[in-house]
Chains A and B, each alone.
Chain A
Amino acid sequence: IVLTQSPDTLSLSPGERATLSCRASQTISSTYLAWYQQKPGQAPSLLIYGGSSRATGIPDRFSGSGSETDFTLTISRLEPEDFAVYYCQQYGSSLTFGGGTKVEIK
Chain B
Amino acid sequence: QLQLQESGPGLVKPSETLSLTCTVSGGSISRSSYYWGWIRQPPGKGLEWIGSIYYSGTTYYNPSHKSRVTISVDTSKNQFSLKLSSVTAADTAVYYCARQGFSGSYFMAFDIWGQGTMVTVSS
Q: Does B113 lie within 8 Å of A43, measured CB to CB? A: yes
Complex Cα gap A97–B52 (Å): 15
B114 to A89, Cβ gap below 8 A? no
Are B96 and A43 interface neighbours, CB within 8 A? yes
Q: Are B46 and A91 in contact (CB under 8 A)?
A: no
Q: What A residues does B110 contact at CB under 8 A?
A: 34, 36, 44, 46, 89
Residue A71 is within 8 A (CB to CB) of chain B in the complex: no
- Which residues of chain B come closer than 8 Å to A94, judged between CB atoms? 60, 62-63
User: What residues make up the interface of A, taking CB atoms closer than 8 Å to B?
Assistant: 31-32, 34, 36, 42-46, 49-50, 55, 87, 89, 91-92, 94-100
Q: What are 7 A-B residue pairs whose CB atoms fall within 8 Å in the complex?
A: A32-B107, A34-B109, A49-B101, A49-B111, A50-B108, A91-B107, A100-B47
